[in-house]
Amino acid sequence: MLLDALLPDDAASASAADAWTLIEALYPLCRSLTGDGVRQTLDRIGERIPLIRTEVPSGTPAFDWEIPREWNLRDAWIADAEGRRAVDFRAHSLHVMGYSVPVRRTMTLEELQPHLHSLPDQPDWIPYRTSYYREQWGFCLRHRDRERLGPGPYEVVIDATLAPGHLSYAESVVPGQSTDEVLVYTHTCHPALANDNLSGIAVAVELARALHQAPTKPRLTWRFIFGPGTIGSLAWLSRNEERLGRVRAGLVLGLLGDPGVLHYKHSRRGDTLTDRAAAHVLRGTDARLLEFEPYGYDERQFCSPGFDLPMGRLTRSPNSTYPEYHTSADDLSLIRPAQLAKALQTLARLASVLDANRTPLNLSPKGEPRLGKRGLYGSVGGGAPGAFEHALLWVLNQADGTRNLLAIAERARLPFEQVEQAAAALEHAGLLRTLDRPHESEPKGPSP
């Protein structure tokens, strides 16, 4: 089982430290849907795991959408008559509204005000604002600084290009024994926001790296996708429809470093392998399970009715539920390395369940086979079976070819790891075999 080799406790702490280092390196880069900041981000990721890069030209259709023009920002400021910069992109990349068109003007404060964004209720924080699909421009600033602005005039400059180019995304593929796949998606488009979503990027990188370095090949193929929100997943889906029938499970990752508890959001179907594995792994913890809703991150694209993929989402505090969300307060001080480590441990266990789940068939189904003569049962009778023997009996009883290991663990109310170890021992003893297509049909859980 992958869990033993993937991220034991000491390895999870080391991986969390590496995740933190990556977050620090990526934080200064100015990212958006497209542009050089995204490519630089993928360059840094590519130093840690192998990547397959894709550049999708502007104007390319992606279902009802099309790839936008590429945006690159060199510099931007609002300066008074003496040349003092009241707002300066070089001080913080959130100061410029994402995808602002180029501008160079002299304006009074009254003329400038419609282009300014601030938060009266959070006067010391800079808001994050974008205008991806409507051509306009704007600046974001602390409300306290906005209130200090005099009547002007001001030199207003956004030195940017918005021109035909490309959207960049990248994939890291861990080949498995099967071509059936698990998808992991995380968005790459947010500038200077540490929890949203550098924590998701860094945790995905560490999980991918652990899978790449695992001493045993996973049963399933794992595909990690790093792309911008919404248009990135739509671009990937539009170019990969032929492989979607092989997707058995999947996760969207984000917001994994803040102090909040873990939240798992169900897929549209609500009873997929991903949903059931997450519920099993998170049972008994302080994590919370959320019902599906068509709002959030890229799970809403993967779970749109035309695809209806088994994609859930794992976060800590969900989007829009913590005060620092989409503001300059979502900085490095919000991230807790211990929270990254716990998220990685949870993901490692969830990955192990998804990867090891299979449908066993009892090869000696008429009565119980003699386990003692195969060294699988205690030699002294009269007492209750131990935990391992108990798991053996459950697997043998339920392995009729219609239930996978997760369904057996749910029915028996046993840890998945225990059931998987029992199944492996029975297979080794020649009492069990795995069906050729273990994930082709998914039992919906324990029978009453």
Determine if residue 80 is labeled as part of a ligand binding site.
Answer: no
Q: How many CB atoms lie within 10 A of CB 273?
A: 23
Question: What's the rounded Cα separation, in Å, for the pair 158 and 115?
Answer: 12
- Give pLDDT tens digits for 217-237: 999 999 999 999 999 999 999
Adjacent-strand bridge partners of 85: 79
Cβ-based burial of 258 (10 A; exposed 0-12, middle 13-18, buried ≥19):
buried
Segment 82-89 mean pLDDT: 95
pLDDT in tens, 315-361: 999 999 999 999 999 999 999 999 999 999 999 999 999 999 999 99
Question: Which residue has better confidence, 17 or 382?
Answer: 17
Return all residues near 242 (Cβ < 8 A) that are at least 6 apart: none
Structure-block tokens of residue 322: 């913590």
pLDDT of residue 378: 58
The kind and range of the H/E element at 212 are helix 200-213
Strand pairing partners for 76? 158
| Residue 9 in marked binding region | no
64 labeled binding residue: no
Beta bridge partners, 134, equal none
Nearest CA to 98 among 136, 129, 133? 129
Structure tokens at 179: 């071509």
- Rounded to an integer, the average pLDDT of 380-390 is 63
Give the whole-angstrom CA distance, residue 188 versus residue 37: 10
Average pLDDT on 408-437 reads 91
340 Cβ contact partners less than 8 Å away, ≥ 6 residues apart: 16, 19, 20, 199, 202, 203, 256, 257
pLDDT, position 377: 73
Confidence tier at 7 by pLDDT (50, 70, 90): low
What pLDDT shows up at residue 19? 95
Go through the domains of the chain in sequence order and give each one's CATH number. 2-68+166-356 (3.40.630.10), 70-163 (3.50.30.90), 360-434 (1.10.10.10)
- Whether residue 443 has pLDDT greater than 90: no
